[in-house]
Structure 1
Amino acid sequence: MSRRSKRRGKREPGDHRDRWMITYADLITLLLIFFVIMYAMSNLDSGKYDVVTQSLQNTFNQSNSLLDQGEGLGGTAGQAITKNPPSQIQGEDPGEGEGSPSGSETGTPDDEDQPLTEREEQFRSQEQELQNLFNVITQYIEDNKLENQIFVADKPQGISITLSDRFLFDQGKAALKSDAAPTLSKLASLFRDLSTVVSIEGHTDNVPVGANATYKDNWELSGERALSVLRFFLDKEKLDPDGFQYAGYADTRPTGDNTTAAGRQKNRRVEITVLRQLQP
């Protein structure tokens, strides 16, 4: 038994000597597969290649080329689509150019000849209405020597009419002065036929109301002043309430310097703005 086991022990190392051949055989197999693939790829089917080439050529020739007079795969000129027309139409007299009646290159009518859309018509009508309003109010201020009490300006949001608090109210009060009635009636006559909204805003300086004041603070005072003007238009002049809006902003939107008397006087105001409701 001992001899047999020794013989088996000597033969076991011999079983591992040929295992490298397995790896070698795998490597040879992979190399063979690699060369078969390479050989297969080297034999190009000319018929299929022609079909693919023709298909790509047709695709490029029929698409819109970004290059002027670009070429397709086959070397033929592709179609060129440009936004601007050629500088000279074939058959046109070279002497004709800009400024001549028949020198239009696009063949399309001018923008002035294009009919306006409904919105453009409304916008032009609104702008004309606001311009007329601006001119009438400006003339009224000049005729009545109110340049220091009423200011009118054409702003992006609309025609702004600023009235000084001295013209409308007593100090710390929100009841309208009787002297303000003719001017407010004039404005009402201009607002009566407007097709837009009129915004009325009350503003104050930053000085707090007195301890014995009727109103709690500047917020309440500014809101009541704007409301007094609105009530005049609605109750006295019988204007349509759907065409108005009002708000009080206290001292949050100053136009002057609150550290000076002149600046504070400028901030105490009521702004009436005829709003632009259409944009170009």
Structure 2
Amino acid sequence: MSKKDDLEELEQHQRKSQDAAAGSGRWLISYADFITLLLAFFIVMFSISQINKEKVEGFERSVNMAFGGKPPVVRVAPPQANEPFHHLPSPIPLVAVPPAIRSAILRQTQIMARMRSELRKALAPLIQAHEIHVIATPTGTRIRINADVLFKNGSARLQPKALAIVDAIGKILSRFHYPIAVDGYANRVPIHTARYPSNWYLSVARSLSVLNRFLLDGIRPDLLRATGYGPTHPAVPYSPKLINKALIENRRVTIFVQANTAVIMKTIDALVQRKIAFIRHNTRR
């Protein structure tokens, strides 16, 4: 082997040694990055677990002044023993509902509860027979009526006995002036007649029959709307065990009475305007 070959072999060996040394130290870079990120994570966790008492108290004072010097509306929730990380102070300030808004919500809740009570009293026999259901919802009241109580099969004409039922509901609702949605539903048994080419036509016609009766009961037209859903949105699934029940109960009319959120929104708007006026007054100083 010549001297030149020896030099080339030596250079190759040195390069391999350098590459091996460099490769053996690459894990240190990844490890250092991981430790740095882990340290940053714990610093952030520690910082958000601390409450700046002065900032919370300052926010509390400003909100109190904005709402007319009422009792404090900002509080820091104490940790509960059964909550995760209960040994750490809570960093989240909880803002209570201002009294004016709370009063408006309570008033609407009481009115809606009184309306449901009157409906249940007037419809007690049918409710006990599970033909009509009066249901409280987060946004109002839903009255669900089995179609057999109101209509003959394949018809949208209210039966004579149904007129008294719809009138009893309509006269109660007419005193409360809430928005009312009348929704008609059909089961999946197909219908093909000159008057009702499909269940869609039938469900719309049934909702309109109830709506028109409500107009005669004195409910304002601007508070009413009617919708037909055909065979969609079944109340009972069409499973083999429930098929008979589904065919009966999915033929229905629902009357949804929406709570008067306008009163609550007006109260909120008044408080917001008061807050804006307070800020403008203080910025002019």
Q: What TM-score bracket applies, with the shorter chain setting the length?
A: 0.5 to 0.7
Structure with the largest fraction of helix: 2
Partner of 1:167: 149
Per-residue CA deviations over 1:98-138 (Å, capped at 9, x if unaligned) read xxxxxxxxx97366xx9733x54443222111111111222
| Cα 1:263/1:239, change in 2 over 3 Å | same
DSSP 3-state at the match of 2:134:
strand
Measured in 2, the distance between the counterparts of 1:115 and 1:256 equals 42
Which amino acid counterpart does residue 240 of structure 1 have in structure 2? R
Contact 1:205 / 1:258 at 8 angstroms: preserved in 2?
A: no
Report whether the alignment pairs 1:242 with 2:204: no
Partner of 2:207: 226
- Paired residues, number: 180
Contact 2:236 / 2:250 at 8 angstroms: preserved in 1?
A: yes
| Cα 1:108/1:162, change in 2 over 3 Å | closer
Report whether the alignment pairs 1:256 with 2:229: no
The 5 Å alignment of 1:1-280 reads 81=54, 83=56, 109=71, 116-117=99-100, 119-143=101-125, 147-210=129-192, 212=193, 214-234=195-215, 236-259=216-239, 260-278=243-261
Instruction: Give how far 1:80 is off.
Output: 7.6
Measured in 1, the distance between the counterparts of 2:194 and 2:238 equals 21
Contact 2:126 / 2:132 at 8 angstroms: preserved in 1?
A: no
Partner of 1:19: none
Contact 1:159 / 1:275 at 8 angstroms: preserved in 2?
A: yes
Per-residue CA deviations over 1:217-245 (Å, capped at 9, x if unaligned) read 011100000000001111x3232101111
Instruction: Give how far 1:82 is off.
Output: 5.1
Measured in 2, the distance between the counterparts of 1:213 and 1:170 equals 17
DSSP 3-state at the match of 1:83:
helix
| Cα 1:108/1:227, change in 2 over 3 Å | closer
Which amino acid counterpart does residue 56 of structure 2 have in structure 1? K
DSSP 3-state at the match of 2:99:
coil
Partner of 1:100: none
Instruction: Give how far 1:196 is off.
Output: 1.8
Which amino acid counterpart does residue 83 of structure 1 have in structure 2? V
| Cα 1:120/1:178, change in 2 over 3 Å | same
Measured in 1, the distance between the counterparts of 2:220 and 2:70 equals 47
Contact 1:150 / 1:162 at 8 angstroms: preserved in 2?
A: yes
DSSP 3-state at the match of 2:54:
coil
DSSP 3-state at the match of 1:175:
coil
The structure number with the bigger radius of gyration is 1
**Structure 2 residues without counterparts, runs of 5 or longer:** 1-48, 59-68, 74-96, 266-285
TM-score, L = length of structure 1: 0.56
4+ residue runs of structure 1 moved beyond 3 angstroms?
Answer: 119-122, 143-146
Measured in 1, the distance between the counterparts of 2:140 and 2:172 equals 15
| Cα 1:202/1:145, change in 2 over 3 Å | closer
Partner of 2:9: none
Instruction: Give how far 1:158 is off.
Output: 1.6
Which amino acid counterpart does residue 180 of structure 2 have in structure 1? V
Q: Which deviates the most, 196-205 or 151-160?
A: 151-160
Instruction: Give how far 1:145 is off.
Output: 6.3
Instruction: Give how far 1:277 is off.
Output: 4.2
TM-score, L = length of structure 2: 0.56
| Cα 1:140/1:203, change in 2 over 3 Å | same
